[in-house]
Structure 1
Amino acid sequence: MKQAEESFFRQRQQLIISAAMSCFSRSGFHGASMADISRESGLGAGQIYRYFHSKEAIVSETITSIVRAWSAFLAEHLPQQHSTAAIIRSDSDFWHQWPLRERRLLLETYSEASRNERVRDILAQEEALLLTTLTSAFASRWPQLSSQQRLYRIQLMLLLVDGVACRAFGDENSLDDTELARINAILSQRIFC
């Protein structure tokens, strides 16, 4: 019976987080209210408080969830990209695999990190794990590079991806194919030491 109760508890938490993600992607962490989350989840506020002691706990769990999903996405998809255009163009197949709701939540998370040390810590911890995973994944792709050169290259790729994530709702016509070719050439050289 205990296992069934724990399973039900986790299912309810996930229902609440899913509802919160929808609310937060529309209104932001500070714009969405507990009433919004209650309405979206179909649960009363009192029921929600059985699973999370505060809105801040829901925000924290949502941030953790989105950051882990983002890291898992990057760990799976970034090593498969062989072109800078694939990661810089927000209309590429790479980005179509990361849903718009999650893009909004990621942008909201980055914004929250600028004013919340706890969120910065969550991002830093997950990035450290991601770097370890990507370093291993890229070892076979760039065997000629030292581990430090590989790390620098991965960090540059992550900066590019984060930049695209942050400008996801901006001007799509600002990319130049010549500039993309130049960036690809830079990434293919052994200049990162």
Structure 2
Amino acid sequence: MTEKITKRHTDPALAAARRNQVLTAAAECFRRKGYHGAGMAEISKTAGMSAGHIYNYFDSKEAIIEAIIQRDMEEMFSIFQQFEDDPGDLLTIMLDGADHGVERHIDKEKNALELEMLAEAARNQKVAFLMQQSDTHARARMRRLLTGERSLVKDATDKELDARINVIFAMIGGLSIRRTLYPELQKDTILLALRPALRTLLSPFE
């Protein structure tokens, strides 16, 4: 059994770089072999460091997947923050931002990892909880946008807001499955229908 290293690095920048190195390697391994097929030995080989060194940053493989979820959530929140910080018309900003959402969900490598995480969530309660928690935070940030002064639907009922948010997330999130089943799917084709649909969901219903 590999002895765990308990010494912690004191250089925050170095620690962050090493953690990111492990996360990138683990994501690649999960995409290639799945969560259960990718052991710590494979992750350490891909990362170019010993398994013992990896334990200096992560206590377990589950801790690695938790960090991957956290990293994805931080990336998503940075987009929400850009929407909030931009002083322009919120509807236009969010319609333009659809490009990023589409690109992220039709990226082949991100797709493979996301689908593997969802598959693991179906059989691992802790992973399911972490992903549900991430989704809860994302929906809360979207709600904050849609109830702000610049939103056209700020006066909608809670039930209506929940419906709008869940349909928007379903449309964007479902692109991972569509791209997997239909590899020829292109961003321009998606946006042709997605932008009008988003405009409807971000505007008052008649």
Using structure 1 for the length normalisation, give the TM-score: 0.72
Which 10-residue stretch deviates more, 3-12 or 131-140? 3-12
Amino acid at match of 1:170: L
Identity %: 25
The 5-angstrom pairing of residues 1-193 of structure 1 reads: 5-7=10-12, 8-66=14-72, 68-69=73-74, 71-72=76-77, 75=80, 80-82=93-95, 94-97=101-104, 99-139=107-147, 140-171=151-182, 187=201, 190=205
Give 1:74 deviation, angstroms: 6.5
Give 1:154 deviation, angstroms: 0.8
Aligned length: 181
Amino acid at match of 2:144: S
Structure-1 separation of matches of 2:190 and 2:51: 50
Kept after mapping to 2: 8 A contact 1:29/1:108: yes
Deviations 1:34-53 (A, max 9, x none): 23211221102222223223
Give 1:181 deviation, angstroms: 9.6
Q: SS state of the match for residue 17, structure 2? A: helix
Q: 1:116 to 1:167 in 2, by over 3 A?
A: farther
Structure-1 separation of matches of 2:195 and 2:20: 43
Which ranges of structure 2 fall in alignment gaps of 5 or more residues? 1-7, 84-90
Q: 1:131 to 1:184 in 2, by over 3 A?
A: closer
Structure-1 separation of matches of 2:142 and 2:199: 21
Give 1:153 deviation, angstroms: 0.6
Kept after mapping to 1: 8 A contact 2:153/2:204: no
Which 10-residue stretch deviates more, 159-168 or 17-26? 159-168
Amino acid at match of 2:161: R
Structure-2 separation of matches of 1:14 and 1:22: 12
Using structure 2 for the length normalisation, give the TM-score: 0.68
